[in-house]
Structure 1
Amino acid sequence: MNHYIDLKLLPDPEFAATQLMSALFAKLHRGLHDLRRDDVGISFPAVKAGTLGLGDCLRLHGTAEALDKLMTLNWLTGMRDHVQVGTLNAVPAGTKYRTVSRVQVDSNPERARRRLIKRHGISEEEARQRIPGSAAKRCSDPYVIVRSNSTGQPFHLFIRHGPLLDAPRPGTFNGYGLSSTTTIPWF
């Protein structure tokens, strides 16, 4: 985890930065999946607290070899006009570390009721009593909108940047380049 590449979104009058970041994130997910990589992490260094967007920069973290392999795969097809790809750089000395993880929120009480009915064979009325309409959880973390490969439905993938740490924690990343335990350098 000693190198990084910045992918900076270019301004576009037709597409919002949030829409472009969602598209870039989806492309990266497919690239990581195709390569079966679990040693590339991501962060969003331009994220601002209190906003729902992740900013205009997606940073890839990994070894030089892992990032080279990812970048030789043609995963940026269709995004090259919208992204400025930075060069492979070494992580600066004396950096802090943090986790960048997915936050799963069940924000749809109707879906939760249907699941309850199906799994426990209860009536719709009983499901409404157990899960009232106000039970929807809200999340204030920034997110990207991705499409489920299994259902084709879009969903919000909430991303949380954890607290700053003095030392790295090694490990692996999921197919989105996220981990609740493995850290990335933060600078």
Structure 2
Amino acid sequence: MNHYIEIIMKDDVVMHVYNQIHLILASANETQVGVSFPSLYKIRLHSTEIKLSSLFTEKSLTDCTMSDVKSVPKNCTFAFIRRIRSSKSKSQLRRFKKRGNVYTKEQELDYKMNMLKNGIDELYIQMKSNSTKQCYFRFLKLEKSDKEKIGKFNSFGLSDTATIPIFD
């Protein structure tokens, strides 16, 4: 994680660019590239210089400006960027109805009110499923770490075991 690429985009293409990143990482079965979100319209990809250069060329991402591969500054901190999920969701409500745990409209309304009340107040990125074409939110949580931890990232560039460098 000693190098990074910075991607800057307009507000209306964030979902499109992040989906492109996900597809590149998934098709390459890549587990050594992490993603961070330093600001609203900026994404950083973290890995080794060789991996970043081979995976992300000027033509691999559209509708954005991509920097050259740069070295991570020495005076940075580290953090995990993890996916978090709500304990209450529409799909869970659907399963409750199917099992018979929600019987009346009042119970359904009560569940939906709790769903809204207990919403997630974290960073999120809107995604679009390639299979169903439905939009959904991927909620993220940044947890600071006192030191760098090496591990694997998923095809979204997130990890429960590996940290990414955080810097301005």
TM-score by length of 2: 0.85
Residue matched to 1:157: 138
SS in 1 for 2:94: helix
1:112 to partner: Cα distance: 2.1
Task: Give the number of the structure whose residues are more often strand, by fraction.
Answer: 2
Contact 2:96 2:102 in 1 (8 A): no
Partners of 2:101 and 2:79 in 1: CA distance:
43
SS at structure 2 position matched to 1:45? strand
How many pairs are equivalent? 165
Alignment of 1:55-66 (within 5 A): 55-66=40-51
Cα deviations across residues 104-141 of structure 1 (Å, max 9, x unaligned)?
Answer: 22554x432221233x3556339937962222031111
Partner residue, 1:35: 28
Task: Return the offset for 1:89.
Answer: 1.0
For structure 2, which runs of at least 5 residues remain unmatched after alignment? none
* Unpaired segments ≥5 residues, structure 1: 12-16, 47-54
Letter in 2 for 1:34: S
Cα-Cα RMSD: 2.4
Amino acid at match of 2:95: R
TM-score (norm 1): 0.77
Q: Tell me if 1:6 matches 2:15.
A: no
Distance in 1, matches of 2:101 and 2:77, equals 50
Matches within 5 A, 1:14-25: 17=11, 19-25=12-18
The answer as to 2:78 corresponding to 1:97 is yes
Write the letter of the residue equivalent to 2:123: P
Select 2:103's aligned residue among 119, 124, 145: 124
Runs of 4+ residues deviating >6 angstroms:
none
CA distance in 2, matches of 1:173, 1:127: 42
Q: Identity of aligned pairs, percent?
A: 28
2:118 is aligned with 1:133: no
